[in-house]
A and B are shown apart, each in its own frame.
Chain A
Amino acid sequence: MSTLITTPPFADTRTESVLRVSGLRKSFKQREVLRGIDWEVPCGRVIGLLGRNGAGKTTLLRCLLGLSPIDAGTVELFGELMTEPGGERMHRIGFVPQTFDLFPWMKVRAYLDFTAAFYARWNHALAERLLGDWQLDPKQKIGELSQGQRQKLAIVRAIAPEPDLLVLDEPVASLDPQARRAFMAELLELMKAPGKTVIFSTHITADLERADADITLLRDGAIQFTRPLAELREHLRRAVLVRDGGWSHAPVVAGLLKASLKGDEAQLLVEDANTESLQALATREGATLRIEMPTLEDLFVELA
């Protein structure tokens, strides 16, 4: 048994916004996937977009880039509405799709040369280095690459123009641990330059912890919150109340985000937990109290 209490979306107004979404709605036939998304992404941050399978992460990212038509709402990228792609603005965006099945007859080198020919800014040295480091054979056809190698190629293609906004849709899902770490290192290197922003949809929460990302949670077709990871760590605690005979219903405490009952335990995810009042509750209910610091994965499991 579990209860979920939603918190209002967290609006960050510290810096200039790269992306501003308002009232975004998107349906596929009768199924409404995005139900009025309001979201603002500040410049210079790594945003980790979390959500369960089918939550609409890919749809949201595609809508942001104008790759999927929206039913209602507005999307602003770099301060301009996305009603039209706007020419060179698209070259400030790097996109790694979930699957990359592009032009299988082309060789890796030909594909990168083709793409580079259209860009005013293309870091050839970086592309070359990544091809070498990630053991991608430029003479191999894309159709002959494994799914992981294609993912690597998509990342090289997205990073090489040194975009101001990098949108990554589960980019590391097919990568081996070495490649994942190497990718994260490149990402962090890219972020050292001023004004670079990354939106990163993933299920691998360890990567988001490494990048010290702001966490955005997408659930039920809406953004539940966007908060810096450090802030989540600082404010969220799991209070575990244990008593013989278990619990008929979850105890109510201030700042409760989610409660779940497992055997003798009542596990409460609490924001800004007041230890004294929790202790008092434990005494009143004849239970012992244990307070834990949840990992990001724990939080994802609890909240998503």
Chain B
Amino acid sequence: MRAVWQLWLQPCRQLLVGALLLQLVWLVAAILLGCVPAVGAGIAGVAATLLGFGTWFWFTMLGMCLRGLCRPESFLLPDFRRRLALMGGLQVAQWALLPMVAALMMGLPHALLGGACILLLASIGLAASSARYVNLLVWVLFVLAGWQPGLAGQIAKAMIASPWTAPLALLLATLITRLSLRSMLRIDDQEPGASPLENVQLGRSRARALDGTPVRRGKLAKRIGAIFDNTSQRAMEQALARYRAKPTWRLRMVLVRRLLLPHDNPQAIALRLVLVAAIVAFYVLAVMHRQHFNAVVVGAYAILLGLSRFPQLGRGMRQMRPNLADLYLTLAPPTRADYQQTLIDALVVLVPITALSTMAYTGLGIVLTHAAEPVRMLVTAAIVSVGTSLTALAVHLIGPEGNLGRGVVDLVVTLGGMAVYWGGYWLLGALGLPFGSTALLLVTLGFGLGVWTSARREYLRRPPSFDAPLA
């Protein structure tokens, strides 16, 4: 039983905050369910909703944790599969069976159907990390429901009334669980590791699992990854040829950039923009049906997308440290500060890349949502993205070492950036484009440059570090 307990604890070990929150959700739902005799059946709906969402998120998290755990070496553990099944049974009992039995005992309507639906949600959550195409089916359902809301409502009512719905949901849950378990328990060759500095923004799946091992990717993701890698190889070859022909400082810097930021070459950036455009267009056109969007939300979301490059850069730079010793020896800098300066010069290119990407995302948002004031949005996005990306790069150069500290800093910078966009957009509206943009430029860029200059000075003062991060 100790082994089953250890397996049960995995979500708490790997994602403590999320696990605690979701267990709290379960507890609240259980208390609400317990209050039904006193308060009335109305509160059961709230409990069911909480349980539904809680189950979905909990099993998604469980799937992520188990995905990393189910590696070939684990299958050598005695009775690993049986214990895994036992733990799964306990999870199902906690999230679906127990509440369902309680609801049945209290004589609540649709208790069986509710239990079956919660099981279906659990299976969909579990599939999120191993059989991702199941998630696409959920999206398709959302799309269909969005196009024909009346029909969807009628179908939902009919399904609630039908005695076949519960067995059908159970059957579907079994099928999805089987699909995800088959993928999860399959012994595959490990994917070759990716560079920790590779850009894994929207459009590319995460490069590493929770436990740091390379994630297993589907065929499409592998194909997209191969295209990105080909662009990196080509960009490197071109940079090498140019440097050999004319070994200038600028071309040397391009060469170092191609090494450190393999997926930040022009072709890869263009490909990433196309992928983002495709996903966002699908989202807006199919899911949201071009409802009215607040321009500020669109712009702030573009800022969020642009800034999402930096947290990964910070993590990657830490992971790369031991390997960067080779680059240090290769570059043979006269002083340590020269080496640090080379890294800064290489990484600072992310500022214009982020600014241009953010403007492209904003432009896309403008087109898709027929925004009323495109120039105002673009100008705000351009100014704010330069300031925030300078700040983000600065804090990742000298920011805290620990994951928690970095997480907090990322959150503050990202939310700060979005808030500044919000404020900037308002300022441009209040003062007019020329005055508003000048004022915004002075404030945003002034702050960004100030932070950047201080961080740069501090980074140059520090000796280069090639020690592996402790955690």
Contact = CB atoms under 8 A, between A and B. Distances in A.
A69 B466 CA distance: 9
Nearest to A97: B325
A85 B328 contact: yes
A143 B329 contact: no
A87 interface: yes
A103 B324 CA distance: 9
A103 B193 CA distance: 9
Nearest to B321: A67
B336 to A, nearest CB: 6
Interface in A78-97: 84-91, 93, 95, 97
B194 A85 contact: no
B339 A85 contact: yes
Contact of B332 (A90, A102, A113): A90
B335 interface: yes
Contact of B192 (A62, A88, A143): A143
Nearest to A86: B334
A82 B408 CA distance: 37
Contact of A93 (B233, B259, B329): B329
Contacts of B193: 101, 104, 143
A159 B322 CA distance: 20
- State which size class the interface on B falls in: 35 or more
Contacts of B291: none
A143 B336 CA distance: 29
A141 B252 CA distance: 23
A88 B334 CA distance: 7
Contact of B466 (A67, A106, A110, A141): A67
B259 to A, nearest CB: 6
A103 B195 contact: yes
B322 A97 contact: yes
Interface stretch (A114-122, A175-183, A228-236): A114-122
B467 A106 contact: no
B243 interface: yes
Contacts of B332: 85, 87-91, 118
Contacts, number: 97
Given A103-B323, A105-B229, A114-B255, A85 B334 contact: yes
- State which size class the interface on A falls in: 35 or more
Interface in A40-88: 62, 65-69, 84-88
A203 interface: no
A227 interface: no
A107 interface: yes
Secondary structure class of chain B's binding surface, majority of residues: helix
Contacts of B458: none
A186 interface: no
Contacts of A118: 252, 330-332
Contacts of B339: 85
Contacts of A95: 325-326, 329
Contacts of A67: 325, 328, 466
The winner among A62, A89, A104 for most chain B CB atoms within 10 A is A104
Contacts of B237: 110
A93 B467 CA distance: 19
A101 to B, nearest CB: 6
Contact of A87 (B192, B233, B243, B333): B333
A243 to B, nearest CB: 49
B236 A114 contact: yes
A144 interface: yes
A117 B194 contact: no
Interface in A227-284: none
Interface in B319-360: 322-323, 325-326, 328-336, 339
Nearest to B324: A102
Interface string B419-440: 0000000000000000000000
For the complex of A and B, the 3 pairs showing the least CB-CB separation, nearest first, are A143-B192, A90-B332, A87-B334
18 contacts: A62-B325, A62-B466, A67-B325, A69-B465, A84-B335, A85-B328, A85-B333, A85-B335, A86-B334, A87-B333, A87-B334, A90-B328, A90-B329, A104-B192, A110-B240, A114-B240, A115-B330, A117-B247
Interface of B: 192-195, 198, 229, 232-233, 236-237, 240, 243-244, 247, 252, 255, 259, 262, 322-323, 325-326, 328-336, 339, 463, 465-467
Given A85-B332, A90-B328, A103-B323, 6 more contacts: A66-B336, A99-B322, A104-B193, A114-B236, A114-B255, A118-B331
